[in-house]
Amino acid sequence: MKYDFDQLIDRRGTYCTQWDYIKDRFGEEDLLPFSISDTDFMAPWPIRKKLMEVVEHGIYGYSRWNHEDFKGAVAGYFADRHKVLVSPDWVVYSPSVLYSIAVLFRLLSREHDRVLVFEPMYDAFYHVIKDNNREMVPLSLTPENGRYEIDFDRFENLVMECRIFLLCSPHNPTGRVWTTVEMDRMVELCRKHQVAIISDEIHSDVVLTDRKHCPVLKYGNQYDQLYLVSSASKTFNTPGLIGSYCALPDERVRNRFISRMRNRDFLNSVSLMGMHAMMTGYGECMDYADQLCTYIRGNMKELSNFVEEELKDTGVRFHMPEATYLAWIDMSRVCADSGAIQNALVHEGKVGIMPGKAYGDENYLRMNLGCPRGKLMEGLERMKRALDKLPLI
């Protein structure tokens, strides 16, 4: 099936976070948004067809996830997509990846225990660590020629003080796909110091280079404190349907996770729509994921060309990411501070692009390129107009 990613779909008036509630993030309503990380693409037809069948059935009662169809869909996906063995017995439903991380924090550590993270990082990680009364230990990634690298000497010095390493793989917002050598070393050092790894792999289908994503569970025969959390929602643009999963090889942790979800948080019924969307997506729609990667790669190339041709005198720099549909744009050489840049983008360009400060580095912008090319090109023209209005320093 050929999917049309150029189709412009009006999302206004649908209670859409990115479009209808843009003022919450930028203080203005009438902006073209490139902010929260969902896409402006219609979910693939097989998912929509299945959802229509579910709706037409007319009964939406209490439903279960703990069956072979759900767990087998996840296991089959990892076998087919990543060539990694995941037993169906390891698979547990969860309403969201952040919910899974929060529960695993409480199961694997105590209050005030330390959690190692890479910085810059996904902004929700700050909240899930702080609001669960854990202490964040940030390790700054080192930018080298547009590619972020890990200082492994520093990594070991910090990880030995921690109880958990919270990994984002591929990495949001820098777009890194960790190499096998890097993954080997991270797992080796966590095993050496008995630090649990929680790996958020929600962006693993949007890989833009030839390097393959390496799931943390590839190392399951080497270390037993590995916990993978993910969802199909980024791939197929279904986060509003609710649903994610964990792969938890440790039976004791798995049983405690399920008990916490059922008996403390009372999440006893799966989201029926989210469950069907995931099973259908993983079973029938990976061609959509492949075409999505091709399209996003094209969007990244358009951004790169625009920066080179239209913004070369502004100081903006951009290096193609290895994964995700999130462009991490270097503004460090622009002759204005981050506040002035945001003011110009919002009030002059009428465009909403996330400030890097939210992710731990105010010298960058994070721009969501999961959108039709027509929207992207309009956004880039607005960005240029905004930068042209910056006062000279």
Quick one: pLDDT at residue 162?
98
* Residue pair 101/136 in contact by the 8 Å Cβ criterion: no
In the block, tokens 């503004």 appear at 331
* Residue pair 207/321 in contact by the 8 Å Cβ criterion: no
User: 8 — alpha (psi -120 to 50), left (phi > 0) or beta?
Assistant: beta
**Type and span of the H or E element at 253:** helix 251-259
* Residue pair 177/148 in contact by the 8 Å Cβ criterion: no
| Tokens found for residue 260 | 């916490």
Quick one: pLDDT at residue 392?
56
Residues of the chain with pLDDT under 70: 392-393
Nearest-angstrom CA–CA distance, 245 and 248:
10
Nearest CA-CA partner of 380 in 307, 313, 289, 321? 307
Quick one: pLDDT at residue 145?
83
Quick one: pLDDT at residue 77?
98
Residues with Cβ within 8 Å of 7's Cβ and at least 6 positions away in sequence, in order, are 41, 42, 372
Nearest CA-CA partner of 74 in 213, 282, 266, 267? 282
Quick one: pLDDT at residue 8?
96
Give pLDDT tens digits for 34-61.
999 999 999 999 999 999 999 999 999 9
For the four alpha carbons of 10, 15, 17 and 19, in that order, the dihedral sign comes to: positive
Nearest-angstrom CA–CA distance, 262 and 257:
9
